[in-house]
Structure 1
Amino acid sequence: MTSQTATGAIADATPNWLSRSLNLLGVVVVAYYFGRDFLPAVPLAVAVAAAASLLAWAVATLLPGRYRTLLTVLFGVMVVGGSIAAVPTNGLAIVPATVAVLRLFADLRRPSWHGAVGALSAAACLAVAALIFPLPLLGFVAMEGGVLVAALAGISRRQFRAADAQSRALLEERVAIREEQARGAALAERQHVARDIHDVLAHSLGGLVIQLDAVEALLEAGEADAAFSRVRDARALAASGLSEARRAVDALRDDRPGEPVDGASVVRSLGDLGEAHRALGGRIEFTSCGAEWPMSADAAQAMVRAMQESLTNARRHARGQPVAATLEWAPGSVTLRVSNPLAPADHDLPDPASGGHHGLEGMVERFAAVRSGSVTAGERDGAFVVTALVLRS
């Protein structure tokens, strides 16, 4: 049980204003009839026991539930005093005893044996009082039955409160699960945004850095025409990157599942990336073989991003090395394989400004979100190979 649920259970154990009002009314009514009908006739000990039980009832009604020890003493006085005075008062004084038994059983903060001890004590005191004061058997059975009814009522209320506390705990657990799911969805969305931003920046801005470096070198060499051609390529790359960024933002705003993408569109997108790689001074041979078939929007985007990230890494880590990209269509799967030879040992280190270090991680996360999709990347036979696989659903 959570702390909030436990607090609620404690609050339930303390009488509310309506319960307090009814209990105080009961104290007044019992005290009135006891004073009117029995006080002049009963022995002093019985009068003291009855008065003590009524006073304990009134104090226990007004006392906050956190005073558990004092309440235990008051309930004991109610049980013993009310039971002793019940026989001489024809059952009138049994009311405080039955109230105490009921509250002992109903209080979730107490073990059940507290109520059992209270009920057995009341029954025993009634039996002793019946031996001292003459009482018809039917009356004695009725009083003992009253104690039993109070015990059963207390047990019933205890079960109800326990069930209510359990329901609150389950509700709080459901709320906590929903909040955790919402946090997980928000984190997944943030990761999605981070992957798309990385892909756009690494490909477009990284390519712009290469183009502008080439423009600067051409201008220094006095080749203005070639530099102007590079500027046009850089402008086209920037426009393409801006368009791609807009598509990524639109996809994030639209929470509906994307329409299936035909295989020819996927091939064209990969071919466009290959052309962009050539425009940036790279070498690539891209081939597609097999019968094409439509795939989900997420799978198609994952394939395009895998190709994009592979080419970006090739430009950063193996500049000038040829890239081989193959898209193999099978009846039940499609495989993209991009490889390039590893750069020589004396190859210049990549420019930190040309891209981040989260591309491969983003690829893995993207394919993990695709049903029946997987991607691997690593060195193999002197080349760096990226293999992306999507099974046909």
Structure 2
Amino acid sequence: MVPPAPDSCQTKEFCGHVAVAVLSTSRPAEPWAWFVLGGGFAFFVAGTLLMTVRPGLAFGLLMSVAVSNALIAGMEGSNALVLVLVAVADVAVMDFRRRDDSAGCRNSNRPIVGAGTGVVIAFALSAAWFDQPDSWYFSQLLWTAVLAAFGLNRRQYEIQVRQTEQLLEQTRRAQSQQSRAAALEERGRIARDLHDVLAHSLGALSVQLELAEALLDERDDRTAALDHIRRSRRLAVQGLSEARNAVAALRADDVPEVPQALAALAEQHEADHGVAVRATVEGTAQTESGVTVALLNAAREALTNAAKHSPGQRVDVELRYQDGVRLTVRNKGVTAGEGFGLAGMRERLALVGGTLTAGPDGDDWLVVAEVPDE
């Protein structure tokens, strides 16, 4: 956490008060020095006010204050060192951003180095001009270095605060994007679950009810219609059971093993549609609940498509455990193109590291779902 820095306005106001108090006690040996002191103070005030809005102009004003007053600092009673120090402190605080730095967090130190060099040379000339000893010269340099260090420390605080604000803003944006991605993923998951749970049962239920309606309307065959209505009731019960199984899987409760559940799907499909379904299993292995749900939903969707697009055709279902698990569903005739069902199957398998392929294989339609070992 970045510690709080002193307020810039308060710091500038304090420097201004100090400058006024010290200059009011100045008694320079030469009257013309008052023009340098007065002009320097006016330039200092203007430069301080322009630091944030016109940094280039402010630097020029403050630089002239520091160098001109350093030149007369050796004059007895001038107190010009005060203006040198506050001008150098302001220059050190200024935000000199590089043109290639869009974030504004890197600052060039060249203006500060230039100001410091000018002040050092001016102090040396002043010492020679007013015949000051070496101790005086080095004391001026020491005071200037202390004020420059204070200004640099202040600027470093401001840079850290700005970087922290930018980091917080980036974090907020990243969290917003993550929340949006999570919401989209949740919407996709709900869409898949709705389709997986309801499409099979409701699709078959719709077919049975249409048959019952046709038998009553066209043949007045109440016995056959009643048989289809009974099948519709079983499909409704089955759909409710599938919904409960999906909820159990989402809650990480126990889910059925793939071979047993696949055999139950094949038996139910035979009973509902009166077609032969051959289900074979090769090998044994344990699968995670997510893989189990994805494979069973793929098998259910493939059987639903086979009944819808190739009615009365035999279906072969094969489950093989080898370097993972592979499910194939084959039926005669072209079943379907790319639709919501296949897209949902592919998405669900992708979530558990699996893949899905579906398309014609000779005269057959072949659906292959694979989940490799991790």
TM-score of the two chains, using structure 2 as the length reference = 0.83
Number of the residue aligned with 2:269: 277
Aligned residues: 360
Q: Distance in 2 between matches of 1:89 and 1:304?
A: 97
- Give how far 1:211 is off: 0.8
SS at match of 2:22: helix
Contact 2:280–2:318 (8 Å) recurs in 1 = yes
Q: Distance in 2 between matches of 1:282 and 1:74?
A: 96
Task: Give the direction of change, closer, same or farther, for the CA distance of 1:150–1:247 in structure 2 (3 Å limit).
Answer: same
Q: Distance in 1 between matches of 2:156 and 2:232?
A: 75
Q: 5+ unaligned residues in a row in structure 2: which ranges? A: 98-107
Number of the residue aligned with 1:209: 206
Task: Give the direction of change, closer, same or farther, for the CA distance of 1:174–1:81 in structure 2 (3 Å limit).
Answer: same
Number of the residue aligned with 1:32: 21
Task: Give the direction of change, closer, same or farther, for the CA distance of 1:212–1:322 in structure 2 (3 Å limit).
Answer: same
Task: Show the 5 A alignment for 1:1-393.
Answer: 18-36=7-25, 38-39=26-27, 41-63=28-50, 65-88=52-75, 92-110=79-97, 111-219=108-216, 220-248=218-246, 254=251, 258=252, 261=255, 263=257, 266-330=258-322, 332-343=323-334, 357-371=339-353, 373-392=354-373
Q: Distance in 1 between matches of 2:341 and 2:223?
A: 35
CA deviations on 1:359-385 (whole Å, 9 max, x unpaired) are: 1121111111114x3322221122111
Number of the residue aligned with 1:4: none
CA deviations on 1:222-274 (whole Å, 9 max, x unpaired) are: 2101111111211221232234335545655x4xxx256463xx223223322
- The letter for the 2-side match of 1:286 is R
- Give how far 1:176 is off: 3.4
Q: Distance in 2 between matches of 1:224 and 1:139?
A: 120
- Give how far 1:189 is off: 1.6
CA deviations on 1:280-305 (whole Å, 9 max, x unpaired) are: 32523232334533311100001110
Contact 1:50–1:93 (8 Å) recurs in 2 = yes
Percent identity for Structure 1 against Structure 2: 31
Task: Give the direction of change, closer, same or farther, for the CA distance of 1:100–1:243 in structure 2 (3 Å limit).
Answer: farther
CA RMSD in angstroms, aligned pairs only: 3.1
CA deviations on 1:145-168 (whole Å, 9 max, x unpaired) are: 333344444445445544554454
- The letter for the 2-side match of 1:221 is R
SS at match of 1:218: helix
CA deviations on 1:83-142 (whole Å, 9 max, x unpaired) are: 234222568322332333333233333432211221122222223322332322211121
Task: Give the direction of change, closer, same or farther, for the CA distance of 1:294–1:384 in structure 2 (3 Å limit).
Answer: same
Q: 5+ unaligned residues in a row in structure 1: which ranges? A: 1-11, 344-348
Task: Give the direction of change, closer, same or farther, for the CA distance of 1:153–1:35 in structure 2 (3 Å limit).
Answer: closer
Q: Distance in 2 between matches of 1:235 and 1:361?
A: 29
Worse-matched range after superposition: 304-313 or 25-34: 25-34
CA deviations on 1:171-191 (whole Å, 9 max, x unpaired) are: 444443333333322222211
Task: Give the direction of change, closer, same or farther, for the CA distance of 1:80–1:282 in structure 2 (3 Å limit).
Answer: farther
Task: Give the direction of change, closer, same or farther, for the CA distance of 1:246–1:60 in structure 2 (3 Å limit).
Answer: farther
- Give how far 1:218 is off: 1.2
Task: Give the direction of change, closer, same or farther, for the CA distance of 1:85–1:26 in structure 2 (3 Å limit).
Answer: farther
Contact 2:270–2:277 (8 Å) recurs in 1 = no
Contact 1:101–1:151 (8 Å) recurs in 2 = yes
Worse-matched range after superposition: 161-170 or 175-184: 161-170
Q: Distance in 1 between matches of 2:303 and 2:315?
A: 8
Contact 1:210–1:280 (8 Å) recurs in 2 = no
Task: Give the direction of change, closer, same or farther, for the CA distance of 1:249–1:77 in structure 2 (3 Å limit).
Answer: farther
- The letter for the 2-side match of 1:44 is P
Q: Distance in 2 between matches of 1:375 and 1:188?
A: 19
TM-score of the two chains, using structure 1 as the length reference = 0.80
Contact 2:317–2:328 (8 Å) recurs in 1 = yes
SS at match of 2:303: helix
Q: Distance in 2 between matches of 1:292 and 1:385?
A: 23
Q: Distance in 2 between matches of 1:49 and 1:381?
A: 99
Q: Distance in 2 between matches of 1:369 and 1:99?
A: 64
- Give how far 1:327 is off: 1.9
Q: Distance in 2 between matches of 1:104 and 1:20?
A: 15
